[in-house]
Structure 1
Amino acid sequence: MSTQLLFSDAVSFATPLLAVFAVDIAVGTDAPALPTLLTTSDALSDAASAFLTSGEFKAACGETLLLHSPNGLKADRLLIVGLGKVSKLAPTELRIGAGTAVRVAKTKSIRNIAIVFPEDRAISDEHLESLDCMPSARSLVEGALLADFDPDTYRSDRKDRSLESITLLAPDQQKATQDEIRAGHAEGVIFAEAQNFTRSLVNEPGNVLTPTELGRRTAAMCQTAGLSCEVHSTAKLKELGMGAFLGVAQGSAEPPALIVMRYKPAQLAPGGKIVALVGKGITFDTGGISIKPADGMDKMKYDMAGAGAMIGAMQAIAALKPKIEVISVICSAENMPSGTAYKPGDVLTAMSGKTIEIMNTDAEGRLVLADGLHYAKTLGATHLIDAATLTGAVVVALGKVNSGLFSNDEATCDHFHAAAKIAGEHFWRLPCTEDYRELIKSSIADIMNTGRDRWGGSITAAMFLKEFVGDTPWVHLDIAGQAWIDDHHTEIAKGPSGVAVRSIVEWVRALSV
């Protein structure tokens, strides 16, 4: 699909569908909705005025109203998309609005649409803070491109409804403003394409996306993006002494893959920081000997979503070119039950030399990450971030609204919170303090791979990882609740979400300054 940006009058633009945004400017919870278009075009307002005053359209976020053959416009259809209360309007609502417009077009097999860039001057200053052009343009493009993704890849009767083109129509403004909109448009394409690449990886079934195949696809992306990439397997893991990673992999006929990507810019910012992105890449998780219930096991192909997020982030980093060195370590394996599988009660020796008593073989993600985090440190990492669909406990704690955030460093955590806010993604910090360490102490080894009871499961998992981080500033993202969308939303299809890609990239950019 192509995206283009035009500084052109929307009224005279011929398109099968023209989308324009509306907000509710009513003040107070009991006041009736007052839908108002975010445009200064009288022709657009006139075409919609009868419907905006009828009371049938409230401009709630994601609400739509489709008008055919609108008077005074060259567009075949005018789609009014609500963004909610004007007092709460932010780039996130623009992302939802653009995505909603694309999803409406897809259901009607419309292949080409245009979106009217929102104008804050259409609303008085007392109701709306200024909408900055750059983040607005970026959010619109992100929302539109993310909405075009559908997960029905393997349906034999699939009718491809992907859009052919999306045009963003911005008013003809001063050059400085146009440059900001262009920059936002370009970044939006980079972020959305990276996130969709992640989603395409997570969407693949386990019989297709084996660890070896994940390595191939990652290497192909790196070659295109200009990144260096090495893909290793069992022999290298043995050479490095990655006993925890090998323990997980030994139950499968599929060999593991240790994938290492590197980005090094021509010009580095002062400070000598090297950021490492470490991802859990379990391409299918049965739970091993501690096997999972059959119900829902089909979704365990998404247990490599943390690795997918890091791979997508590296694609975006290569395009954005921050002035900081970035390494990514992906630890990929299958967790299978067999005669060679590791067992509860086994003791594994990690690359760092720590010994681990296995209490549950379904707590395998933290084992591969333990070796991945330590290996990243040996490669020179000064800052670490990992992402993983690590625990069901984090979903119990936070539901599917926030992902879990853990850190051992306040400044690093603050940087990530700021990055997530820019990215429009939701993370909630949970404790990772030494008083929880008692829960993973083993009587036979250094640590256990689960807590001694079920309480605080996402925290004890983070404490386990912290053992392999040391004093290196570190962020751990437990994305189990948000990596998969169970139901269609107005702006995005159900299936893999690609969560954390945008936040990780923004965090890297913040560290590069």
Structure 2
Amino acid sequence: MECKIVQYEIQNMTVDTIILSVFEGVLEPSGATESIDRSMNGLIRELISSGDITGKLGCVSVIYPRGLIPAMRVLIVGLGRREDVNMENIRIASAQAIKKARELRAKEVCSVIHGSGAGGLSHPAASQAVIEGSLLGMYHFDQLKSKVETGMEISTLTLVESDPSKFAEVETSVTRSQKITQGVFLTRDLVNLPPNMATPTHLAQSAQQIADEFGMKITIGDRDWAEKNRMGAYLSVAKGAGEPPKFIIMEHNGAREELDTVVLVGKGITFDTGGISIKSSEKMEEMKADMAGAAAVIGTMKAVGLLNLPLRIIAIAPCTENMPDAHAYRPADVVTASNGKTIEIISTDAEGRLILADALVYAKKYAPKAVIDLATLTGACVVALGKNTVAGMFCNDSNLSGKLLRSGENTHERVWPMPLWDEYRKNIESSVADIKNSGGRNSGVGSSAIFLKEFIDYPWAHLDIAGMALSEKDEGYTPLGATGYGVRLLVDLLQNW
């Protein structure tokens, strides 16, 4: 779907569908909605008075103007209460409206910039929310279906801005938002692919395509490369894998060492059986999403390349399967990470922290101002914070945590501070090695983060996204399946660095 911005009076637009909005509890339409209402002889006002149009968030009404304006139909979407208006509600409303337009087989759609008038949002913020909600709401994964319904795609979404003084900044916002959503789409596609397709090699190929497109330096380390770099923790997980492991490193402005360096690390377990400590078969199919952290940093790098951000940004994605076979690592094994620390294996299902350990050690070579890792690390985090609500954030630097909290609120990809206390370390003490990889059932989320802390000596945040990677329903702009969580959060952080 092409998105563009025009300076025009919306009631004069020759399109098949116009999208307007109203607030809940408002009896008198305002702005562009009021202009259209006048052209339609007060029909919108009548429908508000009768209760047919409620303004409740995401509720969409369809009106056929029958020649009173050039458009074939008008959609009125509710924004909720005016006092509650924010970018997230605009995203939700925009998604619901565009999905209704798609259901009606609209081709050319024109929309007001919801929330920028009576809502009080800035024009760039409101237009960003409209584009994000519309594009993300239109996403659907049907690449693997043998039959796909045709004729359902909207060709053009046009935003109308009648104020010439606002046009340039809105146009910039629209362009930027489209670039960011491309990164989200890539992440969703990678996570939605089945594990026989989204292999470490496939992730590496996706990263290579981005690097080629934007002139990024890329390193794709194989098993021999990892052995030369003494990555015993990462390689232990890969021992049972049938698919070759790939350690992916992407560098945006890699040679620009004078720039602030931010390293993004993503866990890339392309399928997690649990290894020898095998999981229950119930919902094991969801373990295809155990590479959502890697997918998020790869998707972020696509957006970074499109935006050409003025930072030195490094993405590291250690990728492998975690499978049981005769060569797989075992409970009671002791492995050595690339910083020399020895690790007793208690559970082979605590594998994500092992591959992250060597990635976090490798990140140090870039002298980073900050390192942020994303990982579907623990089910305990889902128990603690809920599903599709917020990611757990463990951070050793107040400045970095503050930035992540702000970006989380800006994007609604929220994070919540979790404790990183030294008291948790006793849970990973080992009698035979420096540390062990699991602290037991009652210390899941805390011990996983304190384990990772053993491998860093720089400003660092660990985001446990186990509850955020997949959605069990299609709701608002979040589809059933992969959410693409993390891309918008990270891009907002980097843009406002």
User: Which category of TM-score, normalised to the shorter sequence, fits these structures?
Assistant: over 0.9
Confirm or deny that 1:425 pairs with 2:421. Answer: no
Query: 1:497 matched to which residue of 2?
Result: 483
Other-structure match for 1:192: 181
Inter-CA distance 44–356: structure 2 relative to 1 (3 Å threshold): farther
Is the Cα contact below 8 Å between 1:21 and 1:37 reproduced in 2? no
What per-residue deviation string (whole Å, max 9, x for no partner) do you get for residues 130-173 of structure 1?
21011111111111111121123212122146634232332321
1:441 corresponds to 2:421:
no
Equivalent residue for 1:108?
104
Q: Which residue of 2 aligns with 1:476?
A: 462
1:238 pairs with one of 217, 220, 227: 227
Offset at 1:500?
Answer: 1.1
Q: In 1, are the aligned partners of 2:20 and 2:33 still within 8 Å (CA)?
A: no
Offset at 1:282? Answer: 0.8
Tell me the CA shift for residue 212 of structure 1: 0.9
Asked whether the equivalents of residues 11 and 35 of structure 2 are also in contact (C-alpha less than 8 Å), the reply is no
- 1:254 counterpart residue number: 243
Contact 1:278 1:330 in 2 (8 A): yes
Deviations 1:195-246 (A, max 9, x none): 1111111111100111011101110122113322221210100000000100
Q: How does 1:201-240 map to 2 (within 5 A)?
A: 201-240=190-229
Name the aligned partner's letter for residue 193 of structure 2.
Answer: E
Is this contact kept in 1: 2:372–2:460, CA < 8 A? Answer: yes
Distance 1:334 1:76, change over 3 A: same
Alignment of 1:146 with 2:142, yes or no, is no
Query: What's the secondary structure of 1:277's corresponding residue?
Result: strand
Corresponding residue SS for 1:18: strand
TM normalised by structure 2 equals 0.95
Give the Cα separation in 1 of the matches to 2:14 and 2:164: 25
CA shift, 1:311, in A, is 0.7
Q: CA deviation at 1:267?
A: 7.7
Q: Which residue of the other structure, out of 317, 325, 330, is the alignment partner of 1:330?
A: 317
Corresponding residue number in structure 1 for 2:21: 21
Higher mean C-alpha displacement, 382-391 vs 421-430: 421-430
**Counterpart in the other structure of 2:261:** 274
Q: CA deviation at 1:508?
A: 2.0
Greater Cα shift, 157-166 or 1-10: 157-166
Structure 2 CA distance, aligned partners of 1:454 and 1:490? 35
Matched pairs, number: 493
Amino acid paired to 1:503: L
Deviation at 1:34, TM superposition (A): 4.7
Structure 2 partner of 1:30: none
Tell me the C-alpha RMSD between the 2 structures. Answer: 1.9
Stretches of structure 2 that go unaligned for 5 or more consecutive residues are none
Question: Deviation at 1:106?
Answer: 2.6
Change beyond 3 A, Cα 1:44–1:346: farther
Cα–Cα, structure 1 residues 111 and 449, in superposed 2: closer, same or farther, change >3 Å?
farther
- Counterpart CA distance in 2 for 1:78 and 1:441 is 64
In 2, distance between residues paired with 1:266 and 1:247? 32
**1:164-179, aligned counterparts within 5 Å?**
164-175=154-165, 177-179=166-168
**Matched AA of 1:510:** N
Distance between the aligned counterparts of 1:38 and 1:93, measured in 2? 19
- Cα separation, 1, equivalents of 2:108 and 2:351: 45
Distance 1:92 1:265, change over 3 A: farther
Q: 1:210 to 1:265 in 2, by over 3 A?
A: closer
C-alpha deviation, 1:405, in angstroms: 1.0
TM-superposition CA deviations, 1:345-403 (whole Å, max 9, x none): 11110111111111111111111111111101123323100001111111101112111
User: For residue 159 of structure 2, what is the amino acid of its counterpart?
Assistant: L
Mapped partners of 2:32, 2:200: distance in 1: 50
Q: Which residue of 1 aligns with 2:375?
A: 388
Tell me, in whole angstroms, the C-alpha distance in 2 between the residues paired with 1:356 and 1:480: 23
d(CA) in 2 for partners of 1:18 and 1:329? 44
2:81 corresponds to 1:64 = no
Matched position secondary structure for 1:216: helix
What is the Cα deviation at residue 454 of structure 1? 1.5
The 2-side partners of 1:134 and 1:209 are apart by 36
Please report how far the alpha carbon of residue 36 of structure 1 lies from its aligned counterpart in structure 2 after TM superposition. Answer: 4.2
On the 8 A contact 1:13/1:75 being kept in 2, the answer is yes
Query: Are 1:42 and 2:35 matched, yes or no?
Result: yes
Structure 2 CA distance, aligned partners of 1:420 and 1:188?
16
Question: Is the contact made by 1:23 and 1:38 (CA closer than 8 Å) also made in structure 2?
Answer: no
| Structure 1, gaps ≥5 residues long | 27-32
The answer to which of 71-80 and 343-352 deviates more is: 71-80
The CA deviation at 1:107 is: 2.7
The code of the aligned residue for 1:197 comes to L
Distance 1:486 1:437 in 2: 35
Contact 1:101 1:491 in 2 (8 A): no
Kindly indicate whether residue 405 of structure 2 is the aligned counterpart of residue 405 of structure 1.
no
| Amino acid in structure 1 at the alignment position of 2:353 | R
**Counterpart for residue 8 of structure 1:** 8
* Identical positions, percent: 34
CA shift digits 1:461-513 (9 cap, x unpaired): 1111111112x0011111111110101114332110001111111222333xx
Q: 1:294 corresponds to which residue?
A: 281
Deviations 1:393-438 (A, max 9, x none): 1110111211111101111101111122222222111111111111
SS of 2:329 mapped into structure 1: coil
Work out the CA distance in 1 between the residues paired with 2:15 and 2:21: 17
1:53 partner SS = helix
Q: Do 1:265 and 1:324's aligned partners in 2 also have CA atoms closer than 8 Å?
A: no
- Taking structure 1 as reference, are residues 293 and 210 closer, same or farther at Cα in structure 2, changes over 3 Å only? same
SS at match of 1:78: strand
Matched, 1:486 2:476: no
Q: TM-score, normalised by structure 1?
A: 0.92
- Residues 47 and 327 of structure 1, relative CA distance in 2, 3 Å threshold: same
Give me the whole-angstrom Cα distance separating, in 2, the residues matched to 1:280 and 1:38.
47
Contact 1:35 1:57 in 2 (8 A): no
